[in-house]
Chain A
């Protein structure tokens, strides 16, 4: 069947370059990064890459804040929508990526980034690896890879078309698979994590594609707006395609946010990945995927939400409960934070399911707040060491407050924010996401009740860790390394955002609220 509106000949699409300029800048930066990787002398590569990457991201952010803001448009033949939501999320993404890159750049006095292996291709424990270490190799490829991932995420949050969304999904995922496998220490664990993440990611992509195909079959278009129109004007012939299509596409996206039962990769990948990458993944991937979920559900398939909503409600409740309950028995800080991120995904889903404009603002605020605190938290995890490697087992954190009051104090503050204690951004964010849910009806209230109970369980976990840090005898040999200026900046900004968004959230809430309008 050929739609009647099909043009008889090829027409060039119009492109609003100012609207998509931030994305173009990041792509450009990534490409330059690849060239730098090939030509810059080895000893200077790290420095050049860090400068290039942060500059690229900051320039993109500046362009976005100054010009793109006034050029909201649905462009590139309707496949990219640069609207309030996309701009807010892209801006947040760029800002968080800067923080993430600053943490990745941490060298702790070594040659290359401390978190990354000198040679990703070498077999762990092999002669080749030790030769590479001695020669002072460094995997500075992570920086262009990060930029590519950021491009993917930026496309993801503004994709107005299922194909574009899929492109974004893959562009953001592939670099992350690689980066997950590049840890300097416990390399086998890291490679295993990368492989699992890749396999399961591919599996979920298949779901997404299958769903997209069904939706195309249903509506005759991959465009979200067309899809929405098809649903409202449906004659009922192809309705059997709609529900499976929606569910399968959603599964692909829910996989990325780590919602139960599609979360299994989260703890393994979070634990195995180099810690700065974990922070970046937790903050930015989650943000991008929720951006896509918002757009898909609000712009695309919102019209028949009564058919599929209950399934997502079940997923949200499961996510909160499983995330909270499983965090209780974790003994590894990174896995603990992984389950915490699962629970937070559930909390954010509660906001998404409220289906109101206030909910969009609340969810976006939550993503910003959660991203800032997560990057700072993982940055602190990289600093705590025993015998040179990360002391990620909980028992090693005992008594940290006595030896390193500032480090432990900052981490405790972030934990309180994760728990959602008032005067931290965690509380304001939960409030912003839950309040619209309560107003949306009984289902919303039920989810909020579950959410509050789950928060109580996770609060127990966090407070237990705080107690461990402050009220037990210190473990011999555990030290907190002194971070360099870039990661200190990243941690400080993360803490500041967490504090300010908790104490005086008005401005950010308003910014998110004003931006919570999709362009149709």
Chain B
């Protein structure tokens, strides 16, 4: 399949020098902020948010300087390893902790710190009146630190620490307004679904430890050559389970829509730009494993293809602006997973799409937050409409994000998504037709539902409720939106056609060689633009030209199914929850009778033994002396007999 493609070997990392040796600062700065704000308590109420924002920017600055340093080096020297800590260097057991600074991790670092810092700034305005905003900023900083740890880790174990850290921060932020029980439930749901994924990742890491004798990237990458195929496939599938949980991929996608309960900046940061892309990072970081296990890679691609269609369909029916965007995120990450599953031909484009998506989706989420800000926190798009005249900046920035996600040239999404679609058409047999077809159809549906969202919100008739007075948001919120819109417009152009992104990532993910899609590239391009135009046209006809009913019509079977996430919750409930509850009940019973009985019995035995032995401690020196004498005689006697 990859006959024309040189498979990428992992580059070996040299010891960190210069600025890279300060890479720990990237994580330490936001962590310091979180610690200060959480431990400082009310005293830091006033300075806290500003401090958190400043530290986040400081982290970005460090990341930027590291980028400059790496750019000054030859491509093959751009991987630098920073050993931080070595715990118990004894015998066969050692636990080393270090950071890996290479083009892949630096790409993520810049995305996380830049978008993250912008969102910090935006939150200064968005959360201005929240009485508990100090805690909010502490969690944001905690999240940034954990996410940076995840991408900078030099081993799967440390990655797992970051992985759990972002899970924790995400849980805290989704449930930030936990006085609302529905929000608290949403936080719990995200938590539980993620546990399933984390279990997969944990099992994957354990399998790697057993197979390779270590879980740092270097050991794993070196060990792959000697491992057998089925073990590698198993590892690949387990990692995929982990990735699917974190990145809301089929079948573990159900939590993402509910996670929109969190404050909107959270949705923009965690559930659009950064955390949900961790799964893609995991797959690309493990590319050596997937290169050697084509079946697992194919599973990744299929999961991506299914999710991109699934998310797109769900997105068409959602009336809640944030849930529609969440469905769109799911679908776009599907594209990235698909690309990552395609092998060396797709890795760079998976990351490329991830970066551009980080900008345009975060921008649109912030735009949605701005709309909600002006509309009394309403989210129902059926009660929006005609906002373009009232919120000009929001409208303009959102429009750029919208054009980008549609893949209209020359905006960012065009350069990245089009490449993914092209790559999906590479291959032999049924695969290019199915994967490429899905990617193509997905592009059309994306155009439809994103245009629907855009038109329902900003154009058409005003369908406002009586008490709203839409107004533009303050500058502190619009400026981050403008910056992100700039990224939505030009980032793709800057990185894509110049070849910057592919050559930058090449040392890590390998050369992607020359590709030959089953259809000619211009044909794919034309088809894509055609389906996008079709989707756009349909949306225009239904949601701009025609009136949008204020109450959702009953709709077709598909619409109704899409509204309830294609019955995903019902499936989960029927398949997992109910049997799970039964299994839990019987387990609890068995636990109470069996395990607790055994443990209790053991404890009683120890306790009883202890009470008996206590009587030997009489307090009389003579009996102590007798004990000693008996001991000496016994030991001597036994030794003599043995001798």
Contacts and interface: CB of A to CB of B under 8 A. Distances in A.
A247 interface: yes
B89 interface: yes
A200 B614 contact: no
Interface residues of B, number: 35
A425 B603 CA distance: 27
A504 B90 contact: no
Contacts, number: 104
A504 B87 CA distance: 6
Contacts of A264: 616-617, 623-624, 627-628
B606 interface: yes
Given A203-B628, A325-B609, A267 B89 contact: no
Nearest to A247: B636
Contact of A428 (B86, B88, B628): B88
Given A307-B643, A509-B88, 4 more contacts: A200-B621, A261-B627, A326-B613, A428-B88
A504 B624 contact: no
B635 A325 contact: no
A322 B614 CA distance: 10
B610 A328 contact: yes
Contacts of B628: 200, 203-204, 207, 251, 255, 261-262, 264
A322 B613 contact: yes
Contacts of A260: 631
A61 to B, nearest CB: 27
Closest 4 CB pairs of A and B: A261-B631, A264-B624, A329-B610, A328-B610
Interface of A: 195-196, 199-200, 203-204, 207, 243-244, 247-248, 251, 255, 260-262, 264-265, 267-268, 307-308, 310-311, 314-315, 322, 325-329, 358, 428, 431-432, 435, 439, 457, 460, 503-506, 509
Given A329-B607, A509-B89, A311 B635 contact: yes
Q: Which of A195, A268, A327 has the most CB of B within 10 A?
A: A268
A431 B624 CA distance: 33
23 contacts: A195-B621, A196-B624, A200-B621, A200-B624, A203-B625, A243-B636, A243-B643, A251-B631, A255-B628, A264-B628, A307-B643, A314-B635, A315-B631, A325-B609, A325-B610, A326-B614, A428-B88, A432-B88, A435-B90, A460-B603, A503-B87, A506-B87, A509-B90
A311 B621 contact: no
Contacts of B74: none
A265 B624 contact: yes
Contact of B613 (A199, A307, A308, A325): A325
A265 B610 CA distance: 18
* Interface class of chain A by DSSP: helix
Contact of A457 (B606, B621, B635, B642): B606
B608 to A, nearest CB: 9
B131 interface: no
A457 B624 CA distance: 25
Nearest to A362: B90
A38 B562 CA distance: 94
A247 B635 contact: yes
Contact of A504 (B85, B617, B631, B636): B85
Interface string B202-222: 000000000000000000000
Nearest to B90: A435
Nearest to A324: B606
Contacts of A243: 636, 639-640, 643
Contacts of B642: 310
Contacts of B638: 310-311, 314
B611 interface: yes
B88 A505 contact: yes
B228 interface: no
Given A268-B619, A325-B609, A207 B88 contact: no
A431 B88 CA distance: 9
